[in-house]
Amino acid sequence: MRKGRQSWRRAIRRDWQLYSLAILPMLFFLTFRYLPMIGNVIAFRRFRPGGSIFGEYWVGLRYVKMFLTDSTFWNVFTNTLVLGGLTLIVCFPLPIVLALLLNEVRTRYLKRFVQSVSYLPHFLSIVIVAGMIMQMLSVDGVVNQIVDALGGEPSAFLQKPEWFRTIYVSSEAWQTVGWGTILYLAALTTIDQDLYEAARIDGANRWRQTWHVTLPGIRPTMVTLLILNIGTFMAVGFEKILLIYNPLTYETADVISTYVYRVGIVSGNLSYAAAIGLFESIIGLVLVLSANFISRRTVGTSLW
């Protein structure tokens, strides 16, 4: 104890200038990251606008009970799981496939061209992406032109709940697949070429080489990105959904985060919304911790 304090004193005397550089960033983390975490107590307290940011008095689990019996909550909860799950199933493997395909391209400028083009959507504001989605799916848009040409009946896709998931997941794939290949392409270049040589001598054809050499070679990258994806699972594209959903599609489009936004910011029930938001954050944390734990136990890769 005593010794610990002394070495701290020595550390501060030696490195006080370094510690002083950390003051502003620490203030940032405390104010804008940790204070809001504590601010979640308003989920269990009565909150008055203009009053303390930590609320007025305790109300116990009132707001938690409220959302557990709220049928809209269970609807948005289901939608979150479905949209998160679909996004994971579609948008996690696609970059791997694209990276493997790009890896087989022997012409360097062609490879670079495809890469440059496929990274482009990543740099667009989500508002622009939403605008493009709306223009393409409008009654006079490209999709309806195709539907029309095939003899179908044009329809306003963005107002049909049954189309929302398809629209959401495919636009998500459009925006993320190219950028997602970067880490895999980097991992692919680190695979030892002798392994392919050995596999070939053992009589493995290209397909088997890919299966037994390439895929195991990028497995750590795959696992790490999978864990990270699972961590953001609950926070499914809040901003994009907010931009492209509307009351007609709430049935399938409304997710926990958009519901929190409407209940809290639009209707002003801040405590109730905070309770739902806290529930979402905790599930997110539990998901990433368990994914990390499982992967450390089974494949030996983990985030920390």
Partner 1 sequence: MVTADTLKPARRGRGIRPTRRGIRPSKGYRAFQVVNAVILTGVVIVTLYPFVNIVARSMSDQASIISGEVNLFPKGFNLTSYEHVMSDPMFWRNYRNTVYYTTVATGVALILTTTYAYVLSKRHLKGRTFLVAVAVFTMFFNGGLIPNYVLVTTLGLKNSVWAIALPNAISVFNLLVMKAFFESLPVDLEEAAAVDGLNTYGILLRIVLPLSKAIVATMVLFYAVSFWNSWFSAFLYMDRQELFPVTVYLRNLIAGSTGAEFAGAIAETDEAQVDATIKSVTIVLTTLPILTVYPFIQRYFVSGIMLGAVKG
Residue 18 in contact with partner 1, rule: CB under 8 A:
yes
Backbone angles phi and psi of 103, in degrees to 5 = -65, -25
Q: Which is nearer to partner 1, 83 or 177 (CB)?
A: 177
Q: Which is nearer to partner 1, 21 or 68 (CB)?
A: 21
Residue 248 in contact with partner 1, rule: CB under 8 A:
yes
Question: Site for partner 1 (CB under 8 A): which residue of 92, 165, 284, 301?
Answer: 284
Of 138, 130, 121, residue with least CA distance to 245: 130
Distance CA 268, CA 266 (A): 6
Q: Which is nearer to partner 1, 83 or 230 (CB)?
A: 230
Distance CA 266, CA 260 (A): 9
Minimum CB separation of residue 68 from partner 1 in Å reads 18
User: CB neighbours of 254 closer than 8 A, spacing ≥ 6?
Assistant: 72, 75, 76, 79, 241, 245
Minimum CB separation of residue 78 from partner 1 in Å reads 20
Question: Site for partner 1 (CB under 8 A): which residue of 96, 99, 253, 260?
Answer: 260
Question: Site for partner 1 (CB under 8 A): which residue of 63, 67, 163, 196?
Answer: 196
Question: Site for partner 1 (CB under 8 A): which residue of 105, 160, 165, 301?
Answer: 105
Question: Site for partner 1 (CB under 8 A): which residue of 107, 151, 153, 201?
Answer: 107
User: What residues are paired with 45 via a beta bridge?
Assistant: 58
Residue 124 in contact with partner 1, rule: CB under 8 A:
yes
Question: Site for partner 1 (CB under 8 A): which residue of 61, 89, 117, 299?
Answer: 117
User: How far from 291 is each of 92, 227, 264, 276, 280, CA to CA, in Å?
Assistant: 15, 6, 30, 23, 16
Q: H or E segment at 63?
A: helix 62-68
Residue 53 in contact with partner 1, rule: CB under 8 A:
yes
Residue 21 in contact with partner 1, rule: CB under 8 A:
yes
Distance CA 4, CA 20 (A): 21
Per CB under 8 A, which of residues 261..280 are in contact with partner 1? 261, 264-265, 270, 273-274, 277-278, 280
Distance CA 87, CA 235 (A): 11
Question: Site for partner 1 (CB under 8 A): which residue of 3, 33, 60, 203?
Answer: 33
Question: Site for partner 1 (CB under 8 A): which residue of 68, 89, 120, 198?
Answer: 120
Per CB under 8 A, which of residues 217..236 are in contact with partner 1? 221, 231
Minimum CB separation of residue 174 from partner 1 in Å reads 7
Please report, as a single letter, which amino acid is at residue 255.
V
Minimum CB separation of residue 14 from partner 1 in Å reads 9
Distance CA 236, CA 169 (A): 10
Give me the sign of the Cα torsion angle 134, 136, 138, 144.
Answer: negative
